[in-house]
Amino acid sequence: DTGVSQDPRHKITKRGQNVTFRCDPISEHNRLYWYRQTLGQGPEFLTYFQNEAQLEKSRLLSDRFSAERPKGSFSTLEIQRTEQGDSAMYLCASSSSAQNYGYTFGSGTRLTVV
Amino acid sequence: AQRVTQPEKLLSVFKGAPVELKCNYSYSGSPELFWYVQYSRQRLQLLLRHISRESIKGFTADLNKGETSFHLKKPFAQEEDSAMYYCATLFGNEKLTFGTGTRLTIIP
């Protein structure tokens, strides 16, 4: 297990296109989180899963955003009809609900909408 | 709602000088506090958590409930400490809330 993996590392897309990102958490972690980070800001919470259940969604997550974790392992984050304001680093993290050791983050997916 | 404030966006310190990165939180309760660090071209990683009372890479942080602060300190800065530092809180075993971060630059 090499930690949290995110794919792709970079994505450039035209405005209006749909994009999908993938996150593979640490295998023994039952919680998975998505964050967004823009320049000069700290990571902002988007949503999180415990196993396959999506337990919370931020108000930042508009209807164009959807996240899934169908089998309680990897997760996908889809953005439909991308806008320039969606350009950001999308971070995935995982943790164990049984322990408060903090999160393990992936390297992120940098999205640029042109 | 939880809020984490890091008042300094940028901090420059000479090598060998003491470092203090400020963090204040607004929360009624007993949150868990963390410091995360992001070195250039690397992923965000956990530096330390208050509950473990540990010292990592010479850094310590003391939770002051009276002042609702969790400042990060190191007595003698090293060049490799240059990085982005984020304070974060966790309450009730739910999501982490991050501050806006402080970019620390160590001047040789």
| Mean pLDDT for the stretch of residues A23-34 | 94
pLDDT of residue B95: 83
How would residue B1 be classed by pLDDT, with cut points 50, 70 and 90? low
Of residues A99 and A35, more confidently modeled: A35
| Residue B69 near residue B89, CB atoms below 8 Å | no
| Mean pLDDT for the stretch of residues B8-23 | 97
Chain B residues with CB-CB distance to A100 below 8 A: 32, 49, 51, 90, 93
Q: How far is A40 from chain B (nearest CA, A)?
A: 7
Give, rounded to a whole angstrom, the gap between the first and last alpha carbons of chain B: 40
- pLDDT for residue A68 is more than 90: yes
How far is Cα B1 from Cα B27, in angstroms, rounded to an integer? 7
Pairing between β-strand B102-107 and β-strand B10-14 as defined by DSSP bridges: parallel
Angle at B36 between CA A70 and CA B67, to 5 degrees: 120
User: From the list A91, A102, A107, which residue is nearest B34 (CB)?
Assistant: A102
Give φ, ψ of B45 to 5 degrees.
-140, 150
Residues in chain B: 108
| Mean pLDDT for the stretch of residues A33-55 | 93
A99 touches chain B (CB under 8 A): no
Amino acid at position A57, single letter: K
Comparing B44-48, B50-54, B59-63, the range with the smallest average pLDDT is: B50-54
Closest C-alpha to B52, from A12, A4, A89, A100: A100
| Residue A29 near residue A50, CB atoms below 8 Å | no
How would residue A100 be classed by pLDDT, with cut points 50, 70 and 90? low
Residue A114, both tokens? 């042109």
pLDDT of residue B29: 73
- pLDDT for residue A81 is more than 60: yes
**DSSP string over B50-92:** GGGT--BTTBEE--BTTTTB--EEESS--GGG-EEEEEEEE-T
| pLDDT tens, position by position, B81-103 | 999 999 999 876 678 899 999 99
A to B CB pairs, distance under 8 Å: 50
